[in-house]
Structure 1
Amino acid sequence: MEIRDRTPDDLDACTKALAEVQAGDRYPVDWPRDPAGWLTPDGLIGAWIAVEAEAVLGHVALTRDMEVTRLFVTPAARGSGLAARLLDTVRAAVETPLKLEVSSEGTAAIAFYERSGWRRVGSGRARWLNAAGEPALVYYYVSPPRSGEEQVG
């Protein structure tokens, strides 16, 4: 399996992978009108994909405010350490601490981030609605320190 920079030509395969994730996990909560646009948020500075036999198995993006976003792994590729490899790829691309937010409904994602050393630093309400039709509760996380660094915040 290869992890590489995402190109515009990859967006159709990324959308197909996202559809698999959304069908199983309801991520994103509501299917976007423009999935390729959703995968390319404002302020995007990088996006990476995991590919095997020309199929996209995972995706992650980074915005200019150092937020990790649009991280997903297809159901067939779960349990392989792929999400950790994608996060490591983002961390290797920048030297500053990273942040992310995750819905309180994403219990598997929360458990993964916390096992990986990410630290919850707050919570708030999102502009989008959760499964109950209410503004979603999201948790904010910061990346673990690199070797030799102190935890910030």
Structure 2
Amino acid sequence: MEIRPRTPDDLDACVKALAEVQASDRYPVDWPADPGRWLTPDGLAGAWIAVEAGAVLGHVALTRDAEVTRLFVAPGARGRGLAGQLLDTVRAAVRTPLKLEVSSEGEAAIAFYERSGWRRVGSSRATWLNAAGEPALLHHYESPPVQSSGPRSP
């Protein structure tokens, strides 16, 4: 398995993996009219994928305002630590604090972020609707502090 920057040639495989995630977890809640464009939001600073044997197993993107977005791992690749590796890749590329939003319906994602040291800093209502047809409740998170690689004090 390899984590590397996403290229335009990877988009079809990313859409295929996203379709598996959407069928399993309803992420995104509504299938986008142009899923390749959805994976490439305005303000994109970079995107990375986890690949193995030509298949995309996971994806993460970062916006210019240091927001992690479009993070997912294909159902058949879960339990291997890929989400954490993808987040670590973003954190290594950008040594500033990161932020992200997650819907309150994403209980597994919330548990993962909180186990990983992300801190909830607020909540708000989205402009899009959740599975119940109501404005989704979004929780806002900040990344844990970046660890220094310098010498430690005794």
Do they superpose with TM above 0.5? yes
**Residues paired across the two proteins, number:** 148
User: What one-letter code is carried by the residue in structure 2 that aligns with 1:132?
Assistant: A
* 2-structure distance, mates of 1:117, 1:95: 16
Shift of 1:147: 1.9
TM-score (norm 2): 0.95
Which SS does the other structure have where 2:27 is aligned? coil
TM-score (norm 1): 0.96
Give the unaligned 5+ runs of structure 2: 149-154
For each residue in 1:108-142, what CA deviation from the matched residue of structure 2 results, as whole angstroms up to 9, or x when unmatched?
00000000000000000011100010100000000
* 2-structure distance, mates of 1:133, 1:90: 33
For each residue in 1:5-46, what CA deviation from the matched residue of structure 2 results, as whole angstroms up to 9, or x when unmatched?
000000000000000000000000000000000000000010
Aligned pairs for 1:39-54 (under 5 A) are 39-54=39-54
Aligned equivalent of 2:127: 127
Aligned equivalent of 1:107: 107
Aligned equivalent of 2:8: 8
Equivalent residues of 2:96, 2:146 under 8 A apart: no
* 2-structure distance, mates of 1:68, 1:146: 15
* 1-structure distance, mates of 2:11, 2:94: 23
List 4+ stretches of structure 1 deviating above 6 A.
none
Which SS does the other structure have where 1:30 is aligned? coil
- Root-mean-square deviation over aligned CA pairs: 0.5
* 2-structure distance, mates of 1:117, 1:58: 21
1:55 aligns with 2:55: yes
Aligned pairs for 1:50-89 (under 5 A) are 50-89=50-89
For each residue in 1:65-108, what CA deviation from the matched residue of structure 2 results, as whole angstroms up to 9, or x when unmatched?
10000000000110100000000000000111000000000000
Highest Rg: 1 or 2? 2
* 1-structure distance, mates of 2:109, 2:94: 22
Aligned equivalent of 2:144: 144
Which SS does the other structure have where 1:138 is aligned? strand
Give the unaligned 5+ runs of structure 1: 149-153
* 1-structure distance, mates of 2:8, 2:94: 22
User: What one-letter code is carried by the residue in structure 2 that aligns with 1:50?
Assistant: A
User: What one-letter code is carried by the residue in structure 2 that aligns with 1:5?
Assistant: P
User: What one-letter code is carried by the residue in structure 1 that aligns with 2:38?
Assistant: W
Which SS does the other structure have where 2:83 is aligned? helix
Aligned equivalent of 2:118: 118
User: What one-letter code is carried by the residue in structure 1 that aligns with 2:117?
Assistant: G
